[in-house]
Amino acid sequence: MSWADRLWMSIRHIRGRLVESILVISATAIGVALVAAMFAFIRSYDRQTDYLLSHPAYREITVEVVGNETEITEAAVRFDASVSRAIALGTDDLIRARAGVAAVDHGYLADADRFVVGAPWTAGNRTAIAGQLGAIGGTGGIAGGGATGGRGQAVGAAEGQTRTDGEAALTLPGGATGGRAGTAEMDPEQMRAQFEALLGTDGDDAAVVSELPVDAFSGYRVTGEFFDAYGLRAAAGTVFTNEDIEAGNQVIVLGHDLARTLFPDSTAIGTRVRLGIQTYTVVGVLAPTGVRSIETGAAFDRLGFVPNAAAQVQFAGRAISFQRPTRTLRFAIDDSSRLDAAVQQLTLFFDSEYGPGTTRVTASLDALTTERQKLSRILAVVLFLAAAALFIASINLFNLMLMRVIKRTRGIGISRAIGASRREIFRQFINESACMSLTGAAIGLLLAPVAYGLLRTSLIADIGAVDLMNWLYFVVGAALALAVSVLFGVYPARQAGRVDASLAIRSE
């Protein structure tokens, strides 16, 4: 009997009992879909984990002031706040820690930001903006700088830091100690005039690009060693250094794709662009890189990078810095086996600087590891459930086939009488159950991406870096599930082969 004949018989028998067959096929499809989806999913998950482990962000160690969290998700009542407000981490901490902690290879600031493209200054908008700044200043957004030469200069005073939370704060460095004194003395109208004068000094308007193809783009405010730590190098021009930042150079480095977008026809280097109220000169365009932001998934190729420091301009006879507050110092190591040593040394350093317990040193890898362990456990449970679904479907198939063997016992006897061997009977039944398994597996394979999508959206964030759809793994998973399903057909088919023909024919 040929394979095609057996298939024909199987189809006839399945059609003869269509409803129960469809139910079993559906159950198998679901089981196969879940197993295949889990198979592909675990593969993606592993690849994502590998990607994250190799990501520069996970060679980072962050240092933060304890109790300085301003997220609303944090407990509102924090009695240690008074302690933390006295401490503000800044670039000078970075510099001293780099000098004092041997295990660390890079130290930098990196704060995500969004840059809104502004028009070149004109007499009209200058007045308007100065008016807005004056209004902000009047409500206390401008703070008199902290201790001279101290850590306050680069980061802004504690006052501005806690209140503005991400808004640009204005710092008057080297000025009066004593917090708000500087603002309290100035009325809004006076301040507006001052600002107008200030903005008017902002160099050569004509050189600023007046039109860019985008309204805004994302990026980071960073310091020099960020580029080393992330392995970013300039394809054209140069990346900026800590010296540039100290000198107060308003420069920007563009990601490869961003440069193409902003300047499709001309070279970007040397161009001046206005972002917010600041004018930047493009000094470098990065070579293409595979790095993406861990937080947003954005490709670094599409980001811009500006100095994370005070934008110093002369204002009322003094230098004034525009700056967003820094909460987190970042250190990185090139060799992750030194991670523990680096964490230890940094903890020691900051404890001796500010006293034990005032700063928190965290290896982001630890957070990743913890998160991944939790996820792995969830995945294990989901995998177990998927396997259970397949198992139950297979048991249903098993029962169905066993029932059919019993119902068709007489038919088996007849087949044997007209020339079917035990082996042939076995093959007929295994063919029939395999037909149902295969149909189920085929449908399951089509459903697998849907199940996969559900798993992914509910379990891991798409960081965009890993190609998450891998048909090979779907197919391998489905094939494995199919094998399981087929295996469950073996026992009933063997029972069919064992039927005593003589007895079967006598049975009425």
Partner 1 sequence: MITLEGIAKTYDLGSSTVTALRGIDLTIDRGEFLTVMGPSGSGKSTLLHILGILDSADEGRYLLEDNDLTTLSDAELSRIRNEHFGFVFQSFNLFNEFSALENVMFPLMYAGVRGSQRRDRARALLVDVGLEHRMGHYPNMMSGGEQQRVAIARALANNPSLILADEPTGNLPSDKGEEILQILEGLNRDGVTIVMVTHDDRLGARGSRCIRLRDGVVESDTRRAA
Q: How many residues bind partner 1 (CB under 8 A)?
A: 26
Cross-strand bridge partners of residue 106: 332
- Answer yes or no whether residue 498 interacts with partner 1 by CB under 8 A: no
Q: Of 272 and 427, which has the nearer Cβ to partner 1?
A: 427
- Answer yes or no whether residue 508 interacts with partner 1 by CB under 8 A: yes
Stretch that binds partner 1, among 12-20, 109-117, 262-270, 357-365 (CB under 8 A): 12-20
- Answer yes or no whether residue 92 interacts with partner 1 by CB under 8 A: no
- Answer yes or no whether residue 77 interacts with partner 1 by CB under 8 A: no
Stretch that binds partner 1, among 215-223, 301-309, 409-417, 438-446 (CB under 8 A): 409-417
Tell which one of 417, 450, 469, 483 touches partner 1 (CB under 8 A).
Answer: 417
Give first-to-last CA distance, the chain, whole Å: 27
**CA 389 to each of CA 441, 454, 495: distance values in angstroms, whole numbers, following the listed order:** 13, 16, 25
- Answer yes or no whether residue 18 interacts with partner 1 by CB under 8 A: no
- Answer yes or no whether residue 416 interacts with partner 1 by CB under 8 A: yes
Q: Of 204 and 508, which has the nearer Cβ to partner 1?
A: 508
* Cα distance between residue 229 and residue 390, in whole Å: 47
Tell which one of 36, 283, 389, 420 touches partner 1 (CB under 8 A).
Answer: 420
Tell which one of 91, 164, 358, 415 touches partner 1 (CB under 8 A).
Answer: 415
- Answer yes or no whether residue 2 interacts with partner 1 by CB under 8 A: yes
* Cα distance between residue 217 and residue 17, in whole Å: 62
- Answer yes or no whether residue 302 interacts with partner 1 by CB under 8 A: no
Burial class (CB in 10 A: 0-12, 13-18, 19+), 66: middle
3-state secondary structure 245-280: HHCCCCEEEECHHHHHHHCCCCCCCCCEEEECCEEE
On whether the CB atoms of residues 237 and 282 are closer than 8 A, the answer is yes
- Answer yes or no whether residue 7 interacts with partner 1 by CB under 8 A: no
Tell which one of 124, 213, 317, 419 touches partner 1 (CB under 8 A).
Answer: 419
Least distance between partner 1 and beta carbon 12 (Å) = 6
Q: Of 317 and 423, which has the nearer Cβ to partner 1?
A: 423
Enter the tokens of residue 2: 């040929």
Q: Is 118 helix (H, G, I), strand (E, B) or coil?
A: coil
Q: What is the chain's Cα-based Rg?
A: 34
Q: Which amino acid belongs to residue 233?
A: R
Stretch that binds partner 1, among 74-82, 115-123, 415-423, 462-470 (CB under 8 A): 415-423
Burial class (CB in 10 A: 0-12, 13-18, 19+), 458: exposed
Tell which one of 13, 43, 274, 427 touches partner 1 (CB under 8 A).
Answer: 13
Question: Residue 506: CB partners within 8 Å, gap ≥ 6?
Answer: none
- Answer yes or no whether residue 418 interacts with partner 1 by CB under 8 A: yes
Residues found near partner 1 in the complex (CB under 8 A): 1-2, 5, 12-13, 16, 410-411, 413-424, 500-502, 505-506, 508
